[in-house]
A and B are shown apart, each in its own frame.
Chain A
Amino acid sequence: MNNDFLVFDHVTKRFGALTAVDDVTLTINKGEFFSLLGPSGCGKTTLLRMLGGFERPDSGRIYLEGRDITDLPPDKRRVHTVFQNYALFPTMTIWDNIAFSLRLAKLPKAETEEKVDAILDMIQMTEHAWKYPDQLSGGQKQRVAIARALVDRPQVLLLDEPLAALDLKLRQHMLIELDAIHDQVGITFMYVTHDQGEAMSLSDRIAVINRGHVEQLDVPAKIYEAPSSRFVASFIGDTNFFEGTIESVEGDYCVIDVKGFPRIKAYNDKNLSTGQKVALSVRPEKIRVTKARPAPEKGASINVFPSVVQDIVYQGVYTKYWLDSADLRISALKPHSRFLLDQETITWNDPVFVWWHPDDAYMVEVR
């Protein structure tokens, strides 16, 4: 364990009767862009605050480069935070804000100036150096907050929903910038968000948190394509759940009996056996909707069943359909890569066929 860069070892934090962080064990690699993703109130901020030194865990330990930092005060750990509301010092200029940690470290004056000027250059804020925080725009404040936390090269940079206060356009811009900064400085970033898009696009790895515990820790693609639980599957993107009992196993595949549907075939990724109950997650973009019944493919048979279009939302890049089958409402996405070559247009109340390949479903829950 001591070789690992940053370790949360069975960390628990309670506030009265509420368990905000519940027995979390995490290992974060050096230089990684690591995200904590979860719904509001799941304990992300509390985890960060324990790493920053602002809360003490009720049990468990935190190690940074082999050293137990659990009981160190905030000023004794080289971990800096970019706060959600920036928390820039309003009585200091931008330059002095950024120089704050260097002055505390009693760096020689020339070196301080050199470092502050360099990082101002990096965030392209040189011309604003002598302004005060309330003279800056939201995005500029954001960049200053990041620079202030990075200038003395901490071991870990903590970012607590740093983009939440920005509007959509600026958020997308800052996302790219943040990625570039991470590449440039090579410092470990620990990023908190409840926006799955942000987490997916930036992170090396993501820990999905639910009610204080880690639901899944993996690379973004795995989290999306192979969610470990029903919670992860529904929190990360849209999905459709089919619940049923395994009727038979045929090689790598199994056949599931879902009430109201014809037999559904799925890849048996969890090696289940006959009689087990399972929930199957099928992403909307994996589901096809056509007026004509699809021709059976060679090799594997596909899942096909008739349905009726209930709702259509045109979104430019794709169209979203809601279809009623049995007592389920299924959502499906149809991309418009070949719009003009598409078959006949589908409209409300059309009888259609809904189908997907058995490999494109994923089992998320077994009982």
Chain B
Amino acid sequence: MMKMNPLRSRRAEWLVTLPSLLWLALFFAVPSVIVLAFTFHGHTPNGGVGEWSLSTWRELVDPDYPVIVWKTIRVSLEVTVWSIVLALPCAYAIARMGRRWRSVVAGAIMLPFWTSFVVRVFAWKTMLHPDGWLQACYLAFLRLRAWAFGWLPGCGGQVDPASSTILDSEAAVVLVSVYTFLPFAIMPLYTAAEKFDFALLEAARDLGAKNFYAFRKIFIPGIRQGLISAILMVFIPAIGSYVIPQMLGGTNCVLIGNKIFMRAIQNRNIPHASALATLMAVSVLIPIACAMWWRRSQSARDRKRLDAETARLMTGGAS
């Protein structure tokens, strides 16, 4: 490979990334700062932004909000888990198909995007009518969900068929969210699975592993990058989603997105909506930052442990 002058290459790198940096600054950093600034203002009765004050943050001290934030995170986590669980075997199967079939199936997965998102959600609204056949499937789904996520606060409990209408429920929101976000989970997983060397699974089988063990211990770690992006691709839009809970959740599934919408459009209180958005972002970013910090310290500890092990082996540990 050719060696480039490091200074020149660094300047070239800057030049190449400059447009996207500018884009990010203009349309991400600046708006974020503006939103943050709004939260330190009051609001005017005609929907404008008022004087500098802490009144907005004081309004935010409302016992309803932590409940809604937690509910939003919980629903998003649920949607993420279901999407990944469904997407993993899909991605695996597609990656193992012949070249021709692969593009056909990948195309079919993207097909829904050719119709409007709102139209599709509306179609679900019709399909989920209490007299529909989906109501029957829904009861089965409810039972499975209570079994899988019952341990999370505010999620478990017994399934009561009489009071469980499928429309206007949290489960409807989860169901349609999974339907909506599934392609976003499949695509990064499939891209990673396509690069995965399936001979490794044969090697694992050869060494005595059952199919599922090989899938778990070799395939999943092998597509880790794809898994991480799939989780983010589902979780982040799920946190911000408001069309689906609005149309299918009724009053039973009001998420932070709906609250923000309400404050901004109905109450015409932009600072309050900004504060809610900030609260939500912080509630998500803090756990993620903690997780990343924990992982870094873990790998540092691992490295130290490995060095120690090497030292042990080198100084006659093998005897």
Contacts and interface: CB of A to CB of B under 8 A. Distances in A.
B205 A75 contact: yes
A89 B204 contact: yes
Contacts of B209: 75, 100, 104
Contacts of A89: 200, 203-204, 218
Contacts of A75: 205-210
Interface string A70-81: 000111000111
Contact of B314 (A74, A79, A127): A127
Give 3 closest A-B pairs by Cβ, nearest first.
Answer: A130-B306, A87-B203, A91-B221
Interface in B207-251: 207-210, 213, 218, 221-222, 224
Given A105-B208, A127-B314, A129-B313, 17 more contacts: A74-B205, A75-B205, A75-B208, A75-B209, A83-B199, A83-B203, A85-B197, A87-B199, A87-B200, A90-B200, A90-B222, A91-B218, A93-B306, A104-B208, A117-B317, A117-B318, A129-B310
B318 A80 contact: no
A208 B270 CA distance: 82
Interface string B167-211: 000000000000000000000000000000101101111111110
A101 B208 contact: yes
Interface string B273-311: 000000000000000000000000000000000110110
Interface of B: 197, 199-200, 202-210, 213, 218, 221-222, 224, 306-307, 309-310, 313-314, 317-318
A307 to B, nearest CB: 52
Nearest to B307: A130
Contacts of A318: none
Contacts of A90: 200, 222
A79 B206 CA distance: 7
A21 B117 CA distance: 55
A151 to B, nearest CB: 9
Interface of A: 52-54, 73-75, 79-81, 83, 85, 87-91, 93, 95, 100-101, 104-105, 117-118, 120-121, 126-127, 129-130, 148-149, 152
Contacts of B309: 95, 129-130
A91 B197 CA distance: 12
B318 A121 contact: yes
B222 A120 contact: no
B313 A117 contact: yes
Nearest to B200: A87
Given A85-B199, A91-B224, A121-B318, A100 B204 contact: yes
Contacts of B222: 90-91
Given A121-B318, A126-B318, A54 B207 contact: no
Nearest to B214: A75
A90 B210 CA distance: 19
Contacts of B199: 83, 85, 87
A104 B208 CA distance: 7
| Consensus secondary structure, chain B interface | helix
Contacts of B318: 117-118, 120-121, 126
B307 to A, nearest CB: 8
A117 B315 CA distance: 12
A75 B214 CA distance: 11
Contacts of A117: 313, 317-318
Contacts of A87: 197, 199-200, 202-203
Contacts of B314: 126-127
Given A87-B197, A127-B314, A81 B306 contact: no
A209 B143 CA distance: 60
A10 B153 CA distance: 64
A367 B131 CA distance: 84
A126 B315 CA distance: 10
B213 to A, nearest CB: 7
**Chain A CB within 10 A, most for which of B202, B203, B317:** B203
Contacts of B207: 75, 80, 100-101, 104, 148-149
14 contacts: A75-B207, A75-B210, A80-B207, A83-B203, A85-B197, A89-B218, A90-B200, A101-B208, A104-B208, A120-B318, A126-B313, A126-B318, A127-B313, A152-B208
Contacts of B202: 54, 74, 83, 87
A116 B310 CA distance: 13
Given A87-B200, A91-B224, A127 B310 contact: yes
A310 B307 CA distance: 64
Contacts of B203: 81, 83, 87-89
Contacts of A126: 313-314, 318
A80 B310 contact: no
Contacts of B307: 130
Contacts of B224: 91
B205 to A, nearest CB: 4
A128 B284 CA distance: 40
B208 to A, nearest CB: 4
A17 B317 CA distance: 56
A149 B203 CA distance: 9
**Chain B CB within 10 A, most for which of A73, A75, A80, A105:** A75
B206 A52 contact: yes
A279 to B, nearest CB: 42
A127 B318 CA distance: 11
Contacts of B205: 53-54, 73-75
A64 to B, nearest CB: 15
Contacts of B206: 52-54, 74-75, 79-81, 149
Contacts of B204: 89, 100
Nearest to B221: A91
A104 B314 CA distance: 27
B295 to A, nearest CB: 15
A118 B318 CA distance: 6
B210 to A, nearest CB: 6
A350 B206 CA distance: 60
Contacts of B313: 117, 120, 126-127, 129
Contacts of A105: 208
A96 to B, nearest CB: 10
A151 B197 CA distance: 23
B63 to A, nearest CB: 45
A87 B203 CA distance: 6
